[in-house]
Structure 1
Amino acid sequence: MSNALRPWLDRCPLVAILRGLKPEEAIAMGEAIVGNGIPVLEVPLNSPQPLESIRLLAGHFGENALVGAGTVIDPADVARIAAVGGRLIVTPHADPAVTRAAKEHGLLAVPGFFTPTEAFSLLAAGADGLKLFPAEAASPGVLKAMLAVLPKGTPILPVGGIGATNMEPWKAAGAAGFGIASALFKPGDAPADVAERAKALRAACG
């Protein structure tokens, strides 16, 4: 397993999913989140002008944050994301081609999966970690069973329905981190409100 993802998860095991983020609010939202201890920012590609938001965030934070794209479904998009400074590729689905494209461009890859078959195929393609999605349809017990057969040290991040009140059972089952979406940010939120949520989420994850 690559260990390039681990230092970020060690700093904070949360990935801020900024679905719907607009470029004009990117820096303010980034400051609200990174400034409260969550340095991994994911801008889904189904957001308005996602590449511009990624460019702005990557340029503003530099090495102080890991900025990348989510909802990446086309391997051709990986080069565009890398060109604007993105360093993380997250998918909603188990597509080894997107994972391979990420690794060919020197980016971190955290693809989505739901079954052991998908997990092993993505790890074979070079995934740095795995996104268990949708977590609402799984359970901490499912995660624990998967970790028993996956390579030791495989980082799995449940995504979907995770918030400050329900992390603990997943952590006990072995989750390496979590992707946090609407519990942190929704379009139209004020930066001050997002900052307060970031602070509470950071405290909840220990």
Structure 2
Amino acid sequence: MFYEPSKGHGLPHDPSKAIVAPRPIGWISTVDREGRINLAPYSFFNAFSTRPFIVWFSSEGEKDSATFAEETGEFVANLVSSELAEKMNRTAVDAPRGISEFGYADLAMAPSRLVAPPRVAAAPAALECRVTEILRPKALDGTSTGAVVVAGEVVGVHIDDAFLNDGRFDIVKAGNVGRLGYMDYSSVNEIFSMRRPRWEKE
């Protein structure tokens, strides 16, 4: 089949998120100017630079995570392990502003070192970030998409030593959780390696 997204796909469910999958989940913790804490998962999340180390998350609408990050200039991206998947899902609740999802999902907080937002204590890894820019993408016709993209430079990295194996972060042990389409998720339970080819001049 072929379809133009602007004209509809004709399927019972939108396949777009299933096609662009799996996607890492940024479990974003933030605080606002008044010190209110928010925690929410974002599947539009990834890294796009290593030097400097920059990550971003995209909020479909002006939600608390993006709003708080814009207010204070800081956020933490926590890794979702397979053991934390259900609690991560609980933090996706549409709680009123001022209600901490940490408490709602029965998650312990741990202090960050360089930024104000706390991190998820049980997360195998967490990235302390300072906002570098906020983008509001436009559609082809110039209208607003309503999305808010928050980019941040990673200024501090927490890794639970239990997930280090011969100096490498063991993503199979952590069972990194990824978002698929519809209501589906995946967990890393197998990896394979391939070396990038090099062009050999004759």
Higher helix share: 1
Under a length normalisation based on structure 2, what TM-score does the superposition of the two structures give?
Answer: 0.24
TM-score w.r.t. structure 1 length? 0.24
